[in-house]
């Protein structure tokens, strides 16, 4: 039987960075199991590749504490490894007078979180992003950057292998528990001293194997993108985001120039029918009725979710998607947008008893197991700081 001190479930960015943080603190026997045959099949390989800069999150939340710190750690990592990194910054634009008030609140919040931001008038915005449209003022974030998310996953994986302290097993799915300290996986039993659940969209179900987090459930939201046709990519220099609704966890359809110079527009946050429902019907399984039931429950009881449920599905329509995007960029024409194959699922944790969306990262420790329950955006950005936080606060391995 395979034996390990730490067993980490999930080789997404959260599982890999926690494995690295454990090694940095002296752990010598770590196993990471990943149900897929490679890296980046789910959120960590399907995101926008934006390093956020700590603007949106209420102070004292884990997101506020860890986002900017994680951004800087990841920028350093990319520089050290020679991985693509473009410090393109971003602007947040207001679509009307009422959004200006939120823009000013974001400015104050960002400063409280230590983010580097400035308010721009329309003339200053035009120098940075000549095609961005705003109402009177915009907010500029200096530390926002874009990276190659898959290259980062690959580099982290290489580091772990080279440490000789970590084994990553692919095609290895945690199925159930054989006993308290033994996992039954698709490649056999694995005995562990500590288990860390970093299973992304499946983390709630794994936690429940240990009797943890029974009041929580993930609702999947589908993030679809479009792209600007290459001949129009020059219209955007960095990232252009709208002022978001602060009550929901999504930032709204935005424009991001990625490390290859392609401009992606999206992602949406459309309630989905399965945790891996990337296509129209693919990834829908017998859990669908339960997902719909929870969506209906939330629809009836939660104002923020109701707004999302009304607004987002309309974005399946190209003309609606275009009308939404057009509010951020001057002169955008419908035929400048083309379909993009990238699609992601954003698993959003809800508290079923209180019928609310959980807005912050959530870590629950139960005896020898630890569960990362709500690694939503900006968890990619925050991951390196988050992993240090987890290891320093929950495990006391000796220094190497």
Ligand X SMILES: Cc1cc2nc3c(=O)[nH]c(=O)nc-3n(C[C@H](O)[C@H](O)[C@H](O)COP(=O)(O)OP(=O)(O)OC[C@H]3O[C@@H](n4cnc5c(N)ncnc54)[C@H](O)[C@@H]3O)c2cc1C
The residues binding ligand X (CB under 6 A) are 9-15, 33-36, 41-44, 46-50, 52, 173-174, 198-202, 206, 223, 267, 344-346, 375-381
Q: Is 52 in contact with 144 (CB distance < 8 Å)?
A: yes
Nearer to ligand X, 48 or 248 (CB): 48
We find the least distance from the C-beta atom of residue 378 to ligand X, in angstroms, to be: 4
We find the least distance from the C-beta atom of residue 118 to ligand X, in angstroms, to be: 22
Cα dihedral angle (364, 370, 373, 379), rounded to 10 degrees? 110
Nearer to ligand X, 22 or 379 (CB): 379
First to last CA, the chain: 27
Both tokens of residue 390?
């987890």
Nearer to ligand X, 91 or 137 (CB): 91
Q: What is the rounded distance in angstroms from the CA atom of residue 241 to the CA atom of residue 328?
A: 7
We find the least distance from the C-beta atom of residue 123 to ligand X, in angstroms, to be: 29
Nearer to ligand X, 34 or 311 (CB): 34
We find the least distance from the C-beta atom of residue 224 to ligand X, in angstroms, to be: 8
Q: Is 17 in contact with 23 (CB distance < 8 Å)?
A: no
- Count of alpha carbons within 13 Å of 141, Cβ hemisphere only? 35
We find the least distance from the C-beta atom of residue 32 to ligand X, in angstroms, to be: 9
We find the least distance from the C-beta atom of residue 251 to ligand X, in angstroms, to be: 9
Nearer to ligand X, 66 or 337 (CB): 66
Torsional sign, CA 244, 245, 247, 248: negative
Q: Which residue is nearest to ligand X (CB)?
A: 12
CB burial string 103-129: b at 16+ within 10 A, e below: beebbebbeebebbbeebeeeebeebb
Nearer to ligand X, 73 or 199 (CB): 199
Helix axes of 62-81 and 379-394: crossing angle, nearest 10 degrees: 110
- Pairing state between β 2-9 and 30-34: parallel
- Pairing state between β 188-197 and 369-372: parallel
Nearer to ligand X, 202 or 226 (CB): 202
Q: What is the rounded distance in angstroms from the CA atom of residue 22 to the CA atom of residue 16?
A: 10
Nearer to ligand X, 47 or 134 (CB): 47
We find the least distance from the C-beta atom of residue 300 to ligand X, in angstroms, to be: 26
Question: Position of tokens 């699922």?
Answer: 345
We find the least distance from the C-beta atom of residue 160 to ligand X, in angstroms, to be: 14
Q: Which residue, among 187, 206, 169, has the nearest Cα to 1 in the 3D structure?
A: 187
Q: What is the rounded distance in angstroms from the CA atom of residue 133 to the CA atom of residue 284?
A: 39
Phi (first) and psi of residue 109, to 5 degrees: -60, -45
């Amino acid at each position: 039987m395979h034996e390990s001190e730490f067993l980490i479930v999930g080789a997404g960015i959260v599982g890999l960075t926690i494995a690295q943080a454990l090694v940095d603190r002296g752990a010598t026997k770590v196993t990471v199991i990943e149900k897929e045959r490679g890296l980046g099949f789910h959120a960590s390989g399907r995101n926008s590749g934006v390093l956020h800069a700590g603007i949106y999150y209420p102070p004292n939340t884990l997101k506020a504490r860890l986002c900017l710190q994680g951004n800087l750690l990841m920028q350093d990592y990319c520089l050290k490894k020679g991985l693509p990194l473009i410090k393109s910054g971003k602007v947040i634009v207001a679509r009307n007078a009422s959004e200006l008030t939120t823009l000013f609140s974001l400015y104050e919040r960002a400063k409280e979180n230590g983010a580097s931001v400035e308010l721009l008038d329309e003339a200053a915005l035009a120098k940075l992003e000549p095609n961005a449209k705003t109402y009177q003022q915009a907010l500029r974030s200096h530390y926002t950057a874009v990276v190659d998310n898959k290259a980062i996953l690959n580099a982290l994986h290489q580091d772990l292998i080279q440490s000789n302290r970590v084994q990553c097993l692919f095609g290895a799915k945690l199925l159930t528990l054989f006993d308290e300290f033994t996992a039954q996986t698709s490649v056999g039993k694995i005995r562990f001293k500590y288990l860390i659940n970093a299973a992304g969209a499946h983390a709630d179900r794994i936690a429940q194997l240990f009797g943890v987090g029974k009041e929580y459930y993930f609702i999947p939201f589908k993030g679809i993108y479009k792209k600007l046709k290459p001949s129009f990519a020059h219209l955007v220099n960095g990232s252009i985001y709208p002022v978001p609704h602060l009550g929901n966890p999504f930032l709204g359809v935005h424009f991001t120039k990625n490390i290859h110079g392609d401009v992606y527009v999206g992602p949406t946050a459309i309630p989905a029918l399965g945790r891996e429902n990337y296509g129209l019907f693919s990834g829908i399984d017998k859990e669908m009725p339960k997902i719909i039931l929870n969506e209906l429950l939330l629809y009836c009881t939660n104002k923020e979710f109701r707004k999302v449920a009304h607004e987002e599905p309309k974005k399946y329509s190209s003309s609606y998607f275009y009308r939404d995007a057009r509010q951020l960029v001057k002169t955008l024409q419908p035929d400048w947008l083309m379909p993009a194959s990238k699609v992601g699922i954003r698993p959003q944790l809800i508290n079923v008893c209180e019928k609310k969306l959980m807005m912050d990262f959530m870590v629950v420790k139960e005896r020898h197991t630890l569960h990362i329950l709500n690694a939503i955006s900006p968890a990619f950005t925050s991951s390196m700081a988050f992993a240090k936080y987890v290891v320093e606060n929950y495990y006391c391995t000796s220094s190497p």
